[in-house]
Amino acid sequence: MDIRQAVLTAAGRGHRTLPLQTFVDRTGAEKKALEIIVAEAVEAGIDEVCVVIAPGDQAAYREAAGAHARRLHFVEQTEPAGYGHALSLARDFVAGRPFLHLVSDHVYLSDTSATCAKQVIEMARAEACTVSAVQATRESMLPYYGTVGGRRVARRPDLYEVDLVLEKPTPSEAEQKLLVSGLRAGYYLCLFGIHAFSPAVMDLLTEQIQKAGPSAGLTPVLAELARRERYLALEVRGRRYNVGVKYGLLYAQLALALGGADREEVLAHIVELLAQERRAPRPAQ
């Protein structure tokens, strides 16, 4: 599991502009979301990144990648199709090698000196198998994420043997099938948007597309992977912010600001804003 390549999916019609949004990063510099995400991969040891895009987006994405533009390769998903289909388009790029996969509508913030992606890659290298990052997530957020069920690895409170993967389960489904010992009530292990994949994933994607057609998703592939070979989920030391949900861009920017060099200034402005809001008269109902 020597991983030097990454695949970033960004062709979704409702999400293709999200990587082009501008943030102020932890250092106080303005950067596009794409540059922040690619930097996440590069700091984990990635040399080349394949971005699956919609037709016509290449120039905008190359510009948005900033200093990392030279590392990018592009493949187009010419028609709207499933997530699994988009990922499969990078098959020639990965060429039978293990690879890192990230989604383009998340911003990741590590709580350690190692990026979230690096934590996943290091675990995959140590265990010689596929590893997906997960985060304990409250059940109200289940409609936004794939969710895994499994059991803790002995003497590793942050590592799980994956038995089952469901896409956007209902709370009742999750309670019946995805409870994991040790998590607080109402929380489940939801996919984080970072995976270190073994070469078997591309083969399983091909099988899934042959069965389901271009609408094929990734979650059934991960569920099948768990049946065929060892598959681990790592509760990374960090957080992910989905910029594609309501207020997602705001939450991601606040997290970057509060974790960065301008923390005190940002906090002061937030306190001032809250004080002003409290003093403001409420409009008549």
Query: Which one, of 58, 57, 90, 43, lies nearest residue 201 by Cα?
Result: 90
Tens-digit pLDDT profile for the chain (285 aa)? 899 999 999 988 778 899 999 999 999 999 999 999 999 999 999 999 999 999 999 999 999 999 999 999 999 999 878 899 999 999 999 999 999 999 999 999 999 999 999 999 999 999 999 999 999 999 999 998 999 999 999 989 899 999 999 999 999 999 999 988 888 889 999 999 999 999 999 999 999 999 989 888 999 999 999 999 999 999 999 999 999 888 999 999 999 999 888 999 999 999 998 888 877 776 665
- Cβ atoms of 87 and 102 closer than 8 Å: no
Tokens, residue 165: 């993967």
Q: Which domain covers residue 32, as residue numbers?
A: 5-279
Cα angle, residue 199 at apex, residues 198 and 203 outer, rounded to 5°: 125
The whole-model pTM stands at: 0.91
Total domains in the fold of the chain = 1
Cα angle, residue 59 at apex, residues 16 and 66 outer, rounded to 5°: 90
Cα–Cα dist 261/28, whole Å: 6
pLDDT at 283: 65
pLDDT at 67: 93
Cα–Cα dist 230/162, whole Å: 8
* DSSP 8-class letter at 88: H
CA-CA-CA-CA dihedral for 18, 24, 30, 32, to nearest 10? -20
Radius of gyration over alpha carbons of the chain, in Å? 19
pLDDT at 15: 82
Q: Which CATH number belongs to the domain containing residue 223 in this structure?
A: 3.90.550.10
pLDDT at 276: 87
**In-domain check, residue 11:** yes
Tokens, residue 103: 């989604």
**C-alpha distance from residue 25 to each of 30, 39, 109, 136 (Å):** 6, 11, 10, 25
Cα–Cα dist 284/272, whole Å: 24
Q: Which residue has the tokens 């270190």?
A: 196
Q: Which residue has the tokens 């990734």?
A: 218
197-203 contact pairs (CB < 8 A, 24+): 197/98, 197/99, 197/100, 197/101, 197/130, 198/1, 198/98, 198/129, 198/130, 198/229, 199/94, 199/96, 199/97, 199/98, 200/130, 200/225, 200/228, 200/229, 201/130, 201/225, 202/88, 202/91, 202/94, 202/96
Q: Which helix (H) or strand (E) holds 73?
A: strand 72-76
Cα–Cα dist 24/32, whole Å: 8
**In-domain check, residue 222:** yes
CA 262 to chain centre: 25
CA 128 to chain centre: 21
196: left (phi over 0), alpha (psi -120 to 50) or beta: beta
| β-pair type (106-110, 238-242) | antiparallel
Cα–Cα dist 216/241, whole Å: 25
**In-domain check, residue 285:** no
**In-domain check, residue 42:** yes
pLDDT at 48: 98
pLDDT at 228: 94
**In-domain check, residue 187:** yes
